[in-house]
A and B are shown apart, each in its own frame.
Chain A
């Protein structure tokens, strides 16, 4: 009797960690990794960071594992094969006309960069895949005047990469202040201030009306009529969870696949991980969907172990963590940004500061600029559900 395979859909970080964890857990049956892109699993954070820098990063360096290393894990790779549907009753993943049965399934299809409406001109790019990053890198090398649409982390990092090469760059952000959801209103202003220091022009509270050019982009026209000359436009206006193939699946979709604390989707044997998963984080008792490296890696492993042994499924609890590199500066955030109070330690005009976030009487978040030596100590405090007073005392301000 041949046993059904364990299937992982999505061949990026979470999917790779899922197959690795399955083997590490002692599963020696058939294991299939399905990926929409042609490429072997690769690392995405560098794509908007070191990959864009001058004289840096041959593209293959972002690949996690070679084909030989993956062969050692005895994983059947199905790359360039986007999943098109899921039948949870028959327990089959649809790959076009093919039906792939599974004994357990981890969905880790990630998210797509949100596109701009309208006709697409040459020189206008999203940044999600390594193919996108290559094109942006080439344009920066060619000396492009750059306009970035969206002042989030991807947009800010691309702008930083352009500035490092001495290129002129403008960020256009529709909201009154970028990054408000990620770091809260108060600290968003501090982060936005970094752009000015780096020579990036930031235009907030204004929309892009249209992008013009004759085949190749020439200018970005804003809602007030201003025209910004551009050879390269990078659109970084957020990501949308890749659930379009699950419309008929019966899974609960609400800005991601809704999961319980153990990353279970509710369908037998089906778990989700990474950017596509909206799960209940027991540490904060609320639903969240994270687009962070750390949670994707950890959820991939947890989802696989839970899918292999649902009766022993364990919850995934975490203090969210992300980082962003802007020119010479590093921002790091642990915990949640939505808070009752934010206390800044230091001066936001300086090149080093910390901000503590309070909810009720607990420390629930910390944001640092160039505070690598401190940030994980605060992450530990948040994980232990330390009180605000304990945090202030640790910080030496009380």
Chain B
């Protein structure tokens, strides 16, 4: 599983961080970092939740 961020869509609203703070973090400068873009398969459901939580549709999962 690979997490993909569309930087043109992301505006750092932070919902992904709220869902999965170990994987996503909005930094001090306000830009989103995917801390781990290949999370373990066991986290798939949580990652799907993070994708759905994004108000700008900036995240997706590539299998």
Contacts and interface: CB of A to CB of B under 8 A. Distances in A.
B52 A379 contact: no
B26 A372 contact: yes
Contact of A373 (B15, B27, B55): B27
B13 to A, nearest CB: 6
Interface in B1-17: 12-15, 17
B39 interface: no
A284 interface: no
Interface string B24-52: 00111110000000000000000000001
24 contacts: A17-B52, A45-B55, A64-B57, A293-B55, A294-B53, A294-B55, A297-B52, A298-B53, A301-B52, A321-B18, A332-B13, A332-B14, A370-B30, A372-B14, A372-B30, A373-B29, A373-B30, A376-B15, A376-B17, A376-B21, A377-B21, A379-B14, A379-B18, A380-B21
| Interface residues on chain B, size class | 10 to 19
Which of B27, B29, B53 has the largest count of A CB atoms less than 10 A from its CB? B53
Contacts of B14: 332, 372, 375-376, 379
Interface of B: 12-15, 17-18, 21, 26-30, 52-53, 55, 57
A376 B55 CA distance: 14
Contacts of A323: 13
B25 to A, nearest CB: 8
A37 to B, nearest CB: 20
B26 A297 contact: no
Interface string A326-361: 000000100000000000000000000000000000
A387 B30 CA distance: 26
Nearest to A50: B11
Contacts of B28: 373
Contacts of A293: 55
Given A64-B57, A373-B28, A376-B15, 6 more contacts: A294-B53, A297-B55, A372-B14, A372-B30, A373-B27, A376-B18
A379 B14 CA distance: 10
Contacts of A376: 14-15, 17-18, 21, 26
Contacts of B55: 43, 45, 293-294, 297
A57 to B, nearest CB: 12
A157 B14 CA distance: 20
A233 B20 CA distance: 42
Interface string A358-393: 000000000000101101110110000000000000
A301 B45 CA distance: 14
B49 to A, nearest CB: 9
A198 to B, nearest CB: 19
Interface string A282-296: 000000000001100
A53 to B, nearest CB: 13
B52 to A, nearest CB: 7
A373 B55 CA distance: 17
